[in-house]
Amino acid sequence: MRLKILDDIQNIIEQGKNWVQLELDYAKLTLAEKLTAILTMLIIGFLCALLGFLALILFSFALVHVFTLIMCPALAYLTVGGIVLLCLVLIWVLRKPLLLNPLAKMLTRVLITPDVTENNH
């Protein structure tokens, strides 16, 4: 009788170790999945920003060329520079609703929302 209880306790301990190892593996996989999603979003965001800056430069030169039709080139460059600075000031003033809130919402969705597959069991 005593040997059966010891065998049962040893079996429970082995199952507990197995369960802890499985939980650790699941946590590692979940972390890898979430880091992959965040890094993918960062890379895509960086590429979009880079291409956006390139487009801004090209559009600025095109706008300077258009403005040179109605004013001298130096004044055209100053006007386009002022427009770009005005856009930067607007982005700075509206940084919370334009940048911080969507970024926080995206990170919260990726990091905190529970997996749907856990509820299907």
Domain ranges of the chain: 2-113
What are the DSSP calls for 9-62, one per residue? HHHHHHHHHHHHHHHHHHHHHHHHHHHHHHHHHHHHHHHHHHHHHHHHHHHHHH
pLDDT of residue 114: 66
- Summarize pLDDT for 35-82 with one digit per residue, the tens: 898 899 889 989 999 999 999 999 999 999 999 999 999 999 999 999
* pLDDT tens, position by position, 84-119: 999 999 999 998 998 888 888 888 888 787 665 555
- 4 compared with 26, residue with greater pLDDT: 26
pLDDT at 17 over 70: yes
The reply to whether the predicted model has a pTM over 0.85 is no
Distance CA 81, CA 90 (A): 14
